[in-house]
Chains A and B, each alone.
Chain A
């Protein structure tokens, strides 16, 4: 009997995790089709991008049409989309003429940097927002809590790139405590040996900017949750027993607030991805942000399609992963 229920619950969990993926697949497909149409309606084509140069030889209209034909841009749109989709299903994301490399390779080069930022910033923003929020919400009438609330309200009025700019100018340029840009230091590039310490050193300010920006919504959520939890009887009894401060926070408030907080985690994924774009631009971080801007400006369709596919895929997978973690944690109580 136990074995059966364990098996069925495993299958149920698996289904529950696959559900968001399956639900969102049609959305992803529509998105891809729409973006394909949109990209091809941009003025100018990839052939223009490849033939433009301030130094180069003059090009004729025949060169242009020949290049269009070579790139396959003169076929009807649905055919182009079909061949691209076929390639993707085979694992071939196409070839980026701009970067002279397969799209998969270009993305693989830049993806780890962006993913690194996003994956660390997500839980970090949760913690930096939820812990102070719970703490302040436990005693909302105190002066400290009020100051904290005002500070976070101020923070919420700053867009992500402004936070990044402030951090960069203060800690990077004025104080000089942190590097002013890049992913790894010059010495690391020259010697070819990348140390974890160096990576963290360069990623610290971008991560700080992202977490600060993302922590605001968790602060407000935790603040409200703490006040709700405070009204529950078992908290009153715990307080009577003399438990207060950090102990109260860790063992009583946090576990009760966690499910709600975690459920919000997946919905903040697109927001963090968007903020990462700006942060990468400000810190010249070698991620996918600059890649996408470049691809848009040079009409590199395969690269752009690859980027959009990847972003949508990350959100989908991220959602299902977070759902899985949430179910495991809530099942364990």
Chain B
């Protein structure tokens, strides 16, 4: 008897294998696209309810709110602008009017469709009730036509799409139209947005958020079914990450080794929030030579080594932290040069090495800073004391620090501000209107250059003007950026968190870019058009 050919068996076997492979493949891709949960650990935990006017004023508050509320466009982790609520956009040649076309698929979390009426309403409402993070002061009028919305400004602004459209959360008209005071509107409807996740649970005392997936997110289904943000101390988070309970956390440099030893992947980026030493250029440090002399007396390498354990960069002594030192004075640590300049500025050293001012009295400087800069302040104070100056140091919380700076109750102030994002911030930081700005109005040429910068649209021209302005700032030195700390994050390998160059939206140095974290497969292949 001949055996029946094993062919049917082989066929069945092959078919089974095929099915098996297919199923495996499907589960694998589904497993990637449909993972149960992303757990973000946060040292503070509670950042307020995740709505535009309710979240706390710092970076994480805005970033978590961006999970719930979408913007017109969004910067991805390659700094490219991607479509989000708007499918295409363009700007007029004179950069005064900008046009966006919505793709019309977006819905609010309560099911209502998102239309251009909502976008127009957002602009109008936010001009009446200013939202701290986005400046809409230059918007003149907004026209809608079907799916297209045009926003015209009072003056040309080439960076409108990057500055405003990529950071402005769109709010629902049908909910906020009746709200008179958005800062006191805490009903559950305040949290209805159009983003990839919506808030299901928020526990303030525990510092705990549970966000549930928005199945109808227009770019596609977000990767995780839930996102959980929970308060954990870094030590506890390291243990939890080793046990696969926590996926990602922003950490300070002290815990890098702890997390690395727990098997986490460490990401880093320059924070571009440098610490700068602000001189009181209207009183004690009115002379440029004194300011430059003091700059030469500071040893930045020692500051980085001792205060940050090496985890910081020497700040570029100008506004922007990228770019070389061409044309700028780096003010290297040089005690002889410092002595010469201080002497030229009118001070003298007595027999003990103490510095005396023009009137023969010992120089006594008041140094103020925030408590977060404590170690830096101690090392800096030690350097200046060793150099012969007498210092009195005060660590002030946010509010009294701002007051002291505004009322000039200091001689030296150590401040940290964002130096990325909106390029116009250079002007506001330097010439006033900013709560902790330099308020340096003595150099008229510098003021002219900064005014010109506001209205220039040609990139080459802007670069040239900016560089000139930075050179003047560097020479006059109303403030001196000292160190640019590095920001770190720890994540379980495969989580997909990454820092965005120049920061998320308006410059927030966190690794939680929603397009990178929650990317559905389709978003990666969508074509995008640049203006």
Chain A interface (Cβ within 8 Å of chain B)?
42-45, 48-60, 63, 95, 97-101, 106, 109-110, 113, 173, 179-184, 186-187, 189-190, 192, 284, 286, 297-299
Tell me whether B48 is interfacial, beta carbon within 8 Å.
yes
> Residue-by-residue, is B433-456 near A (CB-CB < 8 Å gives 1, otherwise 0)?
111110000000000000000000
A97:B183 contact, CB within 8 angstroms: yes
Name B406's closest neighbour in chain A (CB-CB). Answer: A48
User: Given contacts A52-B402, A58-B428, could you give 15 more A-B pairs where the C-beta distance is less than 8 Å?
Assistant: A43-B404, A48-B402, A55-B133, A56-B57, A58-B435, A59-B433, A100-B183, A109-B205, A182-B232, A186-B232, A189-B228, A192-B201, A298-B397, A298-B398, A299-B399
Q: Which residues of B contact A52 (CB under 8 A)?
A: 57, 398-399, 402, 435-436
Q: Which residues of B contact A51 (CB under 8 A)?
A: 132, 435
Contact of B434 among A58, A97, A101 (CB under 8 A): A58
Q: Which residues of A contact B236 (CB under 8 A)?
A: 179-182
B403:A53 contact, CB within 8 angstroms: no
B204:A55 contact, CB within 8 angstroms: no
Contact of A110 among B55, B59, B130, B205 (CB under 8 A): B205
A193 to chain B, nearest CB (A): 13
B231:A182 contact, CB within 8 angstroms: yes
A55:B507 contact, CB within 8 angstroms: yes
Tell me whether B273 is interfacial, beta carbon within 8 Å.
yes
Distance A48 CA – B396 CA, assembled complex (angstroms): 14
Name A288's closest neighbour in chain B (CB-CB). Answer: B205
Name B37's closest neighbour in chain A (CB-CB). Answer: A190
20 residue pairs bridging A and B, Cβ less than 8 Å apart: A43-B403, A44-B399, A44-B400, A50-B57, A53-B132, A58-B433, A58-B434, A59-B435, A63-B130, A99-B48, A99-B204, A100-B186, A101-B49, A173-B235, A180-B233, A182-B233, A182-B236, A184-B206, A189-B208, A284-B233
Q: Which residues of A contact B336 (CB under 8 A)?
A: none
Name A70's closest neighbour in chain B (CB-CB). Answer: B181
A55:B421 contact, CB within 8 angstroms: yes
Distance A187 CA – B246 CA, assembled complex (angstroms): 11
Q: Which residues of B contact A110 (CB under 8 A)?
A: 205
Name B417's closest neighbour in chain A (CB-CB). Answer: A54
Name A44's closest neighbour in chain B (CB-CB). Answer: B399
Q: Which residues of B contact A57 (CB under 8 A)?
A: 130, 132-135
| Most chain B Cβ neighbours within 10 Å, of A48, A50, A173, A183 | A48
Distance A109 CA – B57 CA, assembled complex (angstroms): 22
A158 to chain B, nearest CB (A): 23
Q: Which residues of B contact A183 (CB under 8 A)?
A: 205-206
Tell me whether B2 is interfacial, beta carbon within 8 Å.
no
Distance A85 CA – B205 CA, assembled complex (angstroms): 26
Given A100-B183, A181-B236, A286-B206, the answer on whether A54 and B228 have CB atoms closer than 8 Å is no
A151 to chain B, nearest CB (A): 30
Distance A316 CA – B58 CA, assembled complex (angstroms): 39
Tell me whether B118 is interfacial, beta carbon within 8 Å.
no
Main secondary structure of the interface of B (DSSP, over half): loop
Classify chain B's interface size.
35 or more
Given A100-B186, A184-B206, the answer on whether A48 and B54 have CB atoms closer than 8 Å is no
Tell me whether B230 is interfacial, beta carbon within 8 Å.
yes
A297:B399 contact, CB within 8 angstroms: yes
A112 to chain B, nearest CB (A): 9
Distance A59 CA – B437 CA, assembled complex (angstroms): 11
Name B403's closest neighbour in chain A (CB-CB). Answer: A44
Q: Which residues of A contact B37 (CB under 8 A)?
A: 190
A249 to chain B, nearest CB (A): 41
Distance A98 CA – B54 CA, assembled complex (angstroms): 9
B519 to chain A, nearest CB (A): 24
B399:A53 contact, CB within 8 angstroms: no
Q: Which residues of B contact A59 (CB under 8 A)?
A: 433-435
Sorted nearest first, the 4 A-B pairs with minimum C-beta distance are: A44-B399, A58-B433, A109-B205, A56-B132
B59:A101 contact, CB within 8 angstroms: no
Distance A44 CA – B407 CA, assembled complex (angstroms): 11
| Most chain A Cβ neighbours within 10 Å, of B133, B236, B417, B436 | B236
B205:A54 contact, CB within 8 angstroms: no
Q: Which residues of A contact B400 (CB under 8 A)?
A: 42-44
B181 to chain A, nearest CB (A): 8
Distance A113 CA – B205 CA, assembled complex (angstroms): 9
B204:A106 contact, CB within 8 angstroms: yes
Contact of B230 among A189, A192, A297, A298 (CB under 8 A): A189
Residues of chain B from 42 to 60 with CB closer than 8 A to chain A in the complex: 46, 48-49, 53-59
Distance A179 CA – B508 CA, assembled complex (angstroms): 33
Name A176's closest neighbour in chain B (CB-CB). Answer: B239
Q: Which residues of B contact A190 (CB under 8 A)?
A: 37, 39, 210, 228, 230
Distance A54 CA – B508 CA, assembled complex (angstroms): 10
Name A59's closest neighbour in chain B (CB-CB). Answer: B435
Residues of chain B from 164 to 188 with CB closer than 8 A to chain A in the complex: 183-184, 186
Distance A83 CA – B352 CA, assembled complex (angstroms): 60
Q: Which residues of A contact B398 (CB under 8 A)?
A: 48-49, 52, 297-298
Name A287's closest neighbour in chain B (CB-CB). Answer: B205
Q: Which residues of A contact B434 (CB under 8 A)?
A: 58-59
B399:A48 contact, CB within 8 angstroms: yes
Q: Which residues of A contact B230 (CB under 8 A)?
A: 186, 189-190
Distance A284 CA – B46 CA, assembled complex (angstroms): 13
Q: Which residues of B contact A95 (CB under 8 A)?
A: 184
Tell me whether B348 is interfacial, beta carbon within 8 Å.
no
Tell me whether B385 is interfacial, beta carbon within 8 Å.
no
Name A296's closest neighbour in chain B (CB-CB). Answer: B397
Q: Which residues of A contact B133 (CB under 8 A)?
A: 53, 55-57
Q: Which residues of A contact B53 (CB under 8 A)?
A: 100
A98 to chain B, nearest CB (A): 8
